[in-house]
Amino acid sequence: MKTTARLALLALLPVLTAAAADVTGKWIYKQTGRGRTTPVTIVLKAEGGKLTGSVSQPGRGATTEREITSGRVEGRKLSFEVDTEGRGTTTFTGTVDGDTMKLKITRGAAFALGETEVVAKRCPPDCE
């Protein structure tokens, strides 16, 4: 009987370990460029393997918010894209470990920053 229970648990192990990380919520990282550092906010919502949300950051006089497209989450890995309106697509790929998200951001050729790596932190519930 114990052997059967162990075999059943072993059969479920790949399914349990492949479960998507909890990425739903607000995340913030700092972006440096043009002699200043600005906070970038990522709001994510995961449903199964699908990822939706937005990326926003202060800009020249106003905050720019862009919708996430092609969002996916599988296990601890996630990826999504943001259309930068005429300047190409910015691609975000990375991993989540608890309240820390490591991202590689690849921007279109129109951007001086090109490719960067950042660490985003999950905002606590009382975060604005």
Q: Looking at residue 111, what is its pLDDT? A: 61
Domains delineated in the chain? 19-122 (2.40.128.20)
- Only one residue has tokens 């950042």, namely 118
pTM of the model: 0.77
Give pLDDT tens digits along the chain (128 positions): 555 544 444 454 444 445 667 899 999 999 887 778 889 999 999 999 999 999 998 777 778 889 999 999 999 999 999 988 777 789 999 999 999 999 999 987 656 567 889 999 999 878 76
Q: Looking at residue 54, what is its pLDDT? A: 95
CA distance 34 to 113: 10
